[in-house]
Amino acid sequence: MFSNLLIWFVIVPIIMMAGLACCGNSNMKAIRAVMVTCSTVLLGMAIWLVCEFLRLRGAGDTSEMLFQGSWMWYEPLNIHLAVGVDGISVLMLLLSAIIVFAGTFASWKISPLPKNFFLWFALLSTGVFGFFISIDMFTMFMFYEVALIPMYLLIGVWGTGRKEYSAMKLTLMLMGGSAFLMLGLLGIAWHSGSAGVPEWNILQIAHNNSIDPSWQNLLFCFTFVGFGVLGAMFPFHTWSPDGHACAPTAVSMLHAGVLMKLGGYGCFRIAIYLLPSAAQELSWIFIILTGISIVYGAFSACVQTDLKYINAYSSVSHCGMVLFAILMLNQTAMTGGILQMLSHGLMTALFFALIGMIYGRTHTRDIRQMGGLMKIMPYLGVCYMIAGFASLGLPGMSGFVAEMTIFFGAFEDSDLFHRIFVIAATCSIVITAVYILRVVGKLILGPVQDEHHLSLTDASWWERLSTVTLIVCLAGIGFFPNWINETIQNSFVPIVNALQAAI
Amino acid sequence: MDYSQFGAMLPELIILGIFLIVFCTDTFGGEGARKILTPFTTVLFGLATVAIWIIPSNAEPIFGGMYVDTTACKAMKAMLNVGVFIVLLQSAKWTDSDEVAIRKGEFYELMLVTLFGMYLMISARHFLLFVIGLESASLPLAAMVAFNKKHYESHEAAIKYILTAVFSSAILLMGLSLVYAFSGNGSLYFDDIRVALTGEAPSGLLIAALAFVIAGIGFKLSLVPFHLWTADVYQGAPTAITAYLSVISKGSAAFAFFVIFVQAFGSMYSVVWEWMMYAVIIATITIGNLFAMRQKNMKRFMAFSSISQAGYIMLGVMTESALGLGSMMFYIFVYIVSNLAVFSVISAIERKTGLVGMEDYDGLHKTNPWLSFAMTLAMFSLAGIPPFAGFFSKILIFTSVTASDSMALYMLVLVALINTIISLYYYLLVVKAIWINPGEAKVEGFRSSGAERLALWICVAGIIFFGLVPYIYQYCVDMALPMFN
């Protein structure tokens, strides 16, 4: 079991928790040492996994999932701990590792109760990594919920503003989604098994493809809505602005950067892949909803004055774009969707990290009370502009590549319905530009609003490390999108085949 | 009479033996014996628990088939024993308090008698034996509920408990006499009743009979609408007794319920009682949850939480399969450790400070980090959050219920799943009080006694490992299988 590389993505965070548990309550040095060591190891493992994956693919290994392993867990119900990765999950693991790494440095000075904060943070990352390596629906769901619950305490204890309300709202809404999701998964498992034994393995279910069409429609709604709640799909997005606004920096980063991707990834891997005929039949409903998400999120971001709310609504819009792309059900758009996940993950994490840093200095997030940060803290100002450009899809940044691919793919469907929604979604780019440039103009470039801000310092070394990591990755995707394309290309084949067979 | 048959009742005999030893020590041992009675009983009971785990079960029915100690029965008894052992540990300090010390022998004796009754309920295959078990499990409990002599809440609770217990017994007996009328050949053996009822059309009388039986046992399980005694009794009883009532009494009744409704009324499942239980389960889970949200007293809060948990346990009955029984037993076991973890914390804090309000837990983490930690894990487990055991027990029971591919049961699971969100809300209120609510801690930092800490450690270990390690679930299902062969 331990010879499988993937399983270590779960074991290392558990070691991280054990290490933290041994640290003294306020022994910051020891806590930081554990966090930095483990998150660096995770990042190293993720990079190594990508290299190894590309090497195996290059060597001609065309099996659907690599590094597979499967161990019996609950025998009476045929539940396994089954792991395996394709190109998409490899990149998601890399994204998670990057953001956990950056998040560690972004919460360098967390207080109070630093040990508990990192304990829950580590549990959250266990869930995230576990989710992406699982190919057994039961373990996938378990890790999904493991990733959700620490949010309550992370926001409730270390958050700001109306934290209790937001934490409760976020937790209950996400768990509500997972209630529907669980029912969907149960249905899928029992309907694709045989002789009273449920089947939880995703590859096996896709291979059997034995779910009755009338059940498929119901199960598709359950699973898509279940994951869609986490993907901030309209009208289930309302937890997102409140939750993000109140969360501490590292948690916002991880949540917007990775957790919301769990939703998109789940829709893609479970709802679309396992229930292809329902996906063909019912995608129009969710295209409408995600279309609304995209435009509505962007418009909402325009009128907010709190920096975190602006980014939370922008996340609603961008994550809507991810789901929208997946629902186009063709390879180009899906590729764009995956790129958008990566791009949005890195960009939002960068945004939230910067907002946390700015808030830590000015103690306000209201854009009306700040201005001219470029004069005061040029490093953070420049970073903010870079993140903004990535967000509005400037060529050379990751956002451009992702959105272009999505729209190219989306135009492949030539009927009127798709056209209308694609055009509406395209308009969101303009709206994005409006709210990004509005903030950049006022906050970064405008006149200094508050004399007290003039004495503030620029970024410290750990903040620079955190931001540079993210910016390098953002630009990396922007300039070299091809290697990502190569990594994920083969992963779409089974899904697209399943979808075409279901027409 | 062949006395060798008694050998098959080894678990009951062990409990009876302990009862006699404790009784003699208490009665004839004098002051010195009373001093060591607590550790003595606890250790003795611990050994008995181990013994019951390891002794083989005897699948041969005895007394003409009235009693059978199948593997499932024995496993259930062993699990209940673990719970009782934890209750004994967490109540050790309380029995030494001035008010109770002089009567602690009675406390142990009454508890052992009720446990004996529950064993009989579990193993009974004849309604006569079942009723004897039920009565000896209920009536002494009333005396235990009244154990805090000087508190009028305790008396009130006891009166409430005894009245409802007697009333529910009357209803149960009414139901059984109707069943007796149906059984034709005048037998009250479960197997005979099943045979007699097979093919029976659902007449009004039969529906009434089963409704009475459900009501009678439902009182014991505090299923809605027979739950009205629960909150007051849980609040008024001494905390150790509340803990005992909420897990042990409930667990044994749930198991007996399953056996009766599968073995005696199994043939009436789809005809008569499926829809009854369907409604009862939905009402139990929902109403338990809705009322729990408003509670400010921790013991009342746990009362309503345990009502809704009973609804989840009853989901196992809807399956009528070995998988369902196994999942239900696993659920009960996990529920035992999770609930007792909560009660360990409640009783430790109550003993030290006398506080039981939820607002008294504000900021607890500042003064008592370990108790806070244990309470948080227990709440997460009760709410069904992974990676804690409660998640697995919930999901596994849901999985076994949906096995039958009936849309109605899927919808039942959906209601249960949505209710887990409501329950999450109020369990999180406790977590919020402990970790988030501002203000100074009302409970001062203190060190629990060794026994309390041991109880809590056992519970926390259970919460963490019962789910992650699959062997216990596997064990439950394996033990449940022979009943269906």
Task: Read off the pLDDT of residues A299-326 as tens digits, 9 standing for 90 and up.
Answer: 998 888 888 888 889 989 989 999 999 9
Mean pLDDT by 10 residues, chain B (485 residues): 78 92 89 86 92 85 86 92 93 86 88 94 92 92 89 90 92 92 82 85 87 91 90 92 92 93 85 88 93 91 93 90 92 95 92 87 88 92 91 92 87 93 92 86 83 93 92 92 82
Cβ–Cβ of A145/B432 closer than 8 Å? no
B464 interfaces chain A, CB cutoff of 8 Å? no
Measured between CB atoms, which of B405, B417, B473 is closest to A183? Answer: B417
State yes or no: pLDDT of A452 exceeds 80. Answer: no
Q: What is the least distance, in Å, from the CA of B213 to any CA of chain A?
A: 31
Interface test with B, best of A142, A173, A219, A223 (most B CBs within 10 A): A142
Cβ-proximal residues to A169 (8 Å cutoff; 6+ apart), any chain: A238, A239, A242, A243
Measured CA to CA, the distance from residue A71 to residue B93 in angstroms comes to: 45
Q: What is the least distance, in Å, from the CA of B351 to any CA of chain A?
A: 28
Measured between CB atoms, which of B395, B410, B474 is closest to A187? Answer: B410
Binning pLDDT at 50, 70 and 90, where does residue A397 land?
A: confident
| Range of the structural domain that residue A237 is part of | 8-501
Cβ–Cβ of A75/B386 closer than 8 Å? no
Cβ–Cβ of A76/B474 closer than 8 Å? yes
B432 interfaces chain A, CB cutoff of 8 Å? yes
Measured between CB atoms, which of B405, B424, B477 is closest to A76? Answer: B477
Q: What is the least distance, in Å, from the CA of B231 to any CA of chain A?
A: 26
Of A93, A70, A97, A96, which is closest to residue A4 (Cα–Cα)?
A70
Q: pLDDT value at position B1? A: 60
B396 interfaces chain A, CB cutoff of 8 Å? yes
Domain ranges of chain B: 3-484
What are the residue ranges of helices labelled H in A23-136?
28-58, 87-106, 114-133
Q: What is the DSSP string of A132-185?
A: HHB-BHHHHHHHHHHHHTHHHHHHHHH--SSHHHHHHHHHHHHHHHHHHHHHHH
Cβ–Cβ of A183/B413 closer than 8 Å? yes
Binning pLDDT at 50, 70 and 90, where does residue A401 land?
A: confident
Cβ–Cβ of A168/B425 closer than 8 Å? yes
Measured CA to CA, the distance from residue A195 to residue A127 in angstroms comes to: 32
Cβ–Cβ of A179/B399 closer than 8 Å? no
Q: What is the least distance, in Å, from the CA of B458 to any CA of chain A?
A: 19
Cβ–Cβ of B400/A77 closer than 8 Å? yes
Q: Is residue A214 part of a domain?
A: yes
Interface test with A, best of B421, B429, B477 (most A CBs within 10 A): B421
Cβ–Cβ of A179/B398 closer than 8 Å? no
Overall average pLDDT of the A24-45 stretch: 87
Diameter over CA atoms, chain A? 74
CA distances from B462 to A363, B78, B390 (A): 44, 15, 10
Cβ–Cβ of A156/B387 closer than 8 Å? no
The total of other beta-carbon atoms located within 10 Å of residue B449's CB is 18
Q: What is the least distance, in Å, from the CA of B483 to any CA of chain A?
A: 16
Q: Is residue A3 part of a domain?
A: no
Q: Is residue A1 part of a domain?
A: no
Task: Read off the pLDDT of residues A375-395 as tens digits, 9 standing for 90 and up.
Answer: 888 888 888 888 888 888 788
Q: Any idea what the Cα angle at residue A377 is, between residues A371 and A381, rounded to 5°? A: 70
Q: pLDDT value at position A157? A: 87
Q: What is the least distance, in Å, from the CA of A130 to any CA of chain B?
A: 12
Q: pLDDT value at position A142? A: 93
CB B460 within 8 A of CB B338: no
Q: In chain B, which residue's Cα lies nearest the Cα of A174?
A: B421
Q: What is the least distance, in Å, from the CA of B323 to any CA of chain A?
A: 8
CA B309 to centroid of chain Cα atoms: 10
Interface test with A, best of B330, B400, B417 (most A CBs within 10 A): B417
Q: What is the least distance, in Å, from the CA of A117 to any CA of chain B?
A: 12
Cβ–Cβ of B431/A153 closer than 8 Å? yes
Cβ-proximal residues to A194 (8 Å cutoff; 6+ apart), any chain: none
Q: In chain B, which residue's Cα lies nearest the Cα of A173?
A: B421
Measured between CB atoms, which of B402, B420, B431 is closest to A179? Answer: B420
The ipTM of this complex is 0.91
Binning pLDDT at 50, 70 and 90, where does residue A214 land?
A: confident
Cβ-proximal residues to B441 (8 Å cutoff; 6+ apart), any chain: B362, B363, B364, B366, B367, B368
Overall average pLDDT of the A335-350 stretch: 89
Cβ–Cβ of B424/A76 closer than 8 Å? no
In eight-state DSSP terms, residue B357 is: B
Give the side-chain half-sphere CA count within 13 A for B97: 18
Mean pLDDT of chain A: 87
DSSP three-state, residue A503: coil
Backbone region of residue A197 per phi and psi (left: phi > 0; alpha: psi in -120 to 50; beta: other values): beta
Of B82, B117, B101, B126, which is closest to residue B37 (Cα–Cα)?
B101
In eight-state DSSP terms, residue B297 is: B
A-B Cβ pairs (cutoff 8 Å, strict):
87
Paired tokens of A64: 């659907």
Q: What is the DSSP string of B24-47?
A: HHHHHSHHHHHHHHHHHHHHHHHH
Measured between CB atoms, which of B386, B436, B470 is closest to A156? Answer: B436
Cβ–Cβ of B402/A187 closer than 8 Å? yes
Interface test with B, best of A152, A169, A197, A199 (most B CBs within 10 A): A152
For residue A91, which amino acid is it?
L
CB A449 within 8 A of CB A372: yes
Site of tokens 């955190």: A466
Q: pLDDT value at position A137? A: 92
The share of chain A scoring above pLDDT 70, in percent, equals 100
Q: What is the least distance, in Å, from the CA of B418 to any CA of chain A?
A: 6
In eight-state DSSP terms, residue A491 is: T
Cβ–Cβ of A186/B402 closer than 8 Å? yes
Q: Is residue A410 part of a domain?
A: yes
Residues in chain B, how many? 485
Chain A residues whose CB is inside 8 A of the B398 CB are 182, 186
β-bridge pairing A66-74 and B58-62: unpaired
Cβ–Cβ of B380/A149 closer than 8 Å? yes
Q: pLDDT value at position A253? A: 87
Measured CA to CA, the distance from residue A383 to residue A352 in angstroms comes to: 11
CB A403 within 8 A of CB A340: yes
B293 interfaces chain A, CB cutoff of 8 Å? no
Interface test with A, best of B399, B404, B420, B422 (most A CBs within 10 A): B399
Q: In chain B, which residue's Cα lies nearest the Cα of A190?
A: B403
Chain B residues whose CB is inside 8 A of the A13 CB are none
State yes or no: pLDDT of A141 exceeds 90. Answer: yes
